[in-house]
């Protein structure tokens, strides 16, 4: 009779993460950096990109753009925090290969252009081009499930964070 007396079905926390680039998706455990591969910063995935156009894996807000331009921190409306780390050991390149298209406080949609990256400059410097996506506040969820590996295209659904 009165809807407010009925028990509401619990809302299931379920957030999808998307491919940041076209390329080869690998589990985070296969990234050639122990900080990422041992999940010290959180769970996620990496894409070895075919092109230097890097897009947002989520809809949310940009919390930080690292001074060396190699990483961008973002937050989803539900509170999940995502780090997009561009390349391995690229902090040493002082921002040279990165043309960042967002700024702190920017709202982004899934698929918004985050950066244009000069992949050849990263490789020439002897660095890996892995684009690592990490959920940095894993305590906010039960698990992250990767739903795809291998060849992906920008915007493909690749994993789900579940609480």
- Residues acting as catalytic residues: 85
CA gyration radius, the chain = 17
Q: How far is CA 73 from the centre of its chain?
A: 9
Helices (H) and strands (E) in the chain, counts: 2, 14
Burial class (CB in 10 A: 0-12, 13-18, 19+), 11: exposed
Q: Which residues contact 125 (CB under 8 A, 6 or more apart)?
A: 90, 92, 93, 97
C-beta separation of 122 from 30 below 8 A = no
Closest CA to 100 of 77, 84, 79, 89: 84
Cα dihedral across residues 31, 52, 85, 16: positive or negative: negative
């Amino acid at each position: 009779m009165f809807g407010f007396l009925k028990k509401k079905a619990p809302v299931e926390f379920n957030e999808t993460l998307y491919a940041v680039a076209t390329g080869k998706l690998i589990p985070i455990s296969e990234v050639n950096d122990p900080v990422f591969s041992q999940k010290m910063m959180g769970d996620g995935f990496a894409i070895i990109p075919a092109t230097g156009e890097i897009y947002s894996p989520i809809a949310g807000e940009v919390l930080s753009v690292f001074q060396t331009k190699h990483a961008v921190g973002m937050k989803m409306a539900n509170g999940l925090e995502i780090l997009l780390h561009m390349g391995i050991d690229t902090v040493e390149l002082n921002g040279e290969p990165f043309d960042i298209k967002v700024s702190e406080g920017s709202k982004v949609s899934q698929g918004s252009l985050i950066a244009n990256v000069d992949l050849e400059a990263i490789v020439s410097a002897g660095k890996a081009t892995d684009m690592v996506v990490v959920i940095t506040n894993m305590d906010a969820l039960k698990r992250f499930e990767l739903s795809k590996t291998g060849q992906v295209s920008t915007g493909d659904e690749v994993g789900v964070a579940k609480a």
